[in-house]
Amino acid sequence: MIALTSRTLYTPTERLDDPVVIVEDGSIVRLGSRTDVNLPSNVEIIDFGNDVIAPGFVDVHIHGSAGYDVMQSSGDARVGFEQFLARHGVTTYYPTTVAAPLDFTQCALERLADMIEGDAEKNSIRSGRAQPLGIHLEGPFLSHARRGVHAAEDLMSPTVELFDKLWQASRGNIRLMTIAPELEGALAVIAEATKRGVCVSIGHSDASLSSAREGVAAGARHATHTFNAMRRLDHRDPGILGEVLTNQSTTADVIADGIHVDPTMVELLLKAKGHENVALITDAISATGMPDGHYRLGAIAVELKDGKCLSNGRLAGSVLTMDRAVRNVMEFTGANLQQSLRAATLNPAKIAGAQRKGALAIGADADFVVLTNTGEVRTTVIKGVVVQ
């Protein structure tokens, strides 16, 4: 049993001053101010001084980092990747696929399912690693017109039968799926995926406003990397962004690296949707945390140069980290640390349906990030184990 203390804690919706959090067997068992919580005699106290305790970051859209790509099979590289995430405050992540030949995608989904289901939880925690909780299927149901770097030959028309093949390959571990709602057959797939508990996200889409609304009516409730790989907003043709920005029953995520989206547009998104409806993602690839050079995004060759990941002149993911994204939102929009933290913790956890993640409360997993007042990561705690 341990007790964590600091000057400030964000749940993230509430602020506690002089907090104490008691952790036992990887879960939070007591939470309150130091004056209100009686510490057991056998508790080990870890004091983080003037720093801020917050929920661990949740990244629902990430392709890799530290030289590792989630669609490859190297277990050794995965260890370094998950340790890298933990150093940047991420305690939970959703490995994200890219469009690829069907057999390659199925094999990748099977490997990811093995990783999620067979993860030796205690061993992973002891080694200071972020934990995978589900899969984000990005592709193959994407628009040719807005496919970005996803290979055209690997895009497929959505059918319930094909979705079921991917679902079976993942053994039901798909938690999010990006789809272009205007594609023929998309509405039936959206409805079926929603029925199976998948958060369906509209993206990589050239949808009109009416097509986007039909997708939401069928069950879609989120938007993938808003503004990127979407029909542009026009005053006479609002398109998919007209629905994303105005429908308060939907959530949206954004790559706040200052490269994919201008800082002013990040501010616009937060003003339109509210801080409770926006999630930060990294869309990070294997080049993240690495020097300039050549890397992979699935089967796609990518060059990292001067902070940009490019493939044939197109942006191909990012080298953003979640802690940097939190600080960027503060810089871009004037949001305070608590508001920015919500977009990296509670909001993505809710989107993915991760009930014990993203918020600090009794019964939640003891996943924390310890930060300075300006958002610099000091320490990460995963299931109550401190990662140095």
Q: Point out the residues that are catalytic.
A: 283
* Residues across the chain: 388
CB atoms within 10 A of CB 25: 9
In the numeric block, the tokens 């940047």 are attached to: 88
Which H helix or E strand runs over 168? Answer: helix 160-169
How far apart are the C-alpha atoms of 23 and 43, rounded to whole Å?
9
Residues 6+ apart with CB under 8 A from 83: 66, 127, 128, 129
Q: b/e for 118-157, b at 16 or more Cβ within 10 A?
A: ebeeeebbeebbbbbbbbbbbbbbbbeebbbbbbeebbbe
Smallest Cα–Cα separation from 113: which of 94, 128, 86?
Answer: 94
Residues 6+ apart with CB under 8 A from 70: 62, 63, 64, 95, 96, 97, 108, 112
Smallest Cα–Cα separation from 347: which of 281, 256, 263, 294?
Answer: 281
Residues 6+ apart with CB under 8 A from 234: none
- Cβ(329)–Cβ(256) under 8 Å? yes
Q: Could you check whether the bond before residue 181 is cis, i.e. omega within 30 degrees of 0?
A: no
Helix axes 160-169, 102-118, angle to 10 degrees: 40
